[in-house]
Amino acid sequence: MAVFAFFLLFGSLVMTADVQRSWTGLDHLANAPLLGTVSTSLMKVSLFLAAFSGLYFTVAAVTDDTYRRQFFAAVEEQLARAVGMRAVHHALVKQEVTGEGRPAPPAPGG
């Protein structure tokens, strides 16, 4: 989303309506809904470039060990902790249901 916003802002500052018309070959540029003066063409190009950048980042993060450690180390730790806690929870639930591992009741008067 940040890359998309950057391309929209940068494109609206740099790409004047005349330049956009000459590049697209359109006589009239339609404005994108909800974006005011940003043309539909600029929005489409910004969306394409942002999606391509996101795909590139995803591939780089998955295939490169340095990126993976930098961006996903904290997520991996939290995920490992959550899976461990889930395993403990399921073990405790199983003990309650089956009665396995329950401590003996206290002795009377003790």
Q: Which range has the worst mean pLDDT, 3-12, 66-75, 87-96?
A: 66-75
pLDDT at position 93 over 70: yes
d(C-alpha 72, C-alpha 42), whole Å: 33
Same domain, 58 and 68: no
SS3 39: strand
Taking only the tens place, the pLDDT of each residue in 66-77 is 877 777 778 888
Share of the chain above pLDDT 70, in %: 75
d(C-alpha 52, C-alpha 38), whole Å: 20
- When divided into structural domains, the chain yields a total of 2
Token digits of residue 22 = 């000459």
pLDDT at position 3 over 70: yes
pLDDT at position 16 over 90: no
- pLDDT classification of 22: cutoffs 50, 70, 90: confident
93 falls within a domain: yes
CA dihedral 7, 8, 12, 17 (to 10 degrees): 100
What is the extent of the structural domain holding 74? Answer: 64-100
Same domain, 50 and 93: no
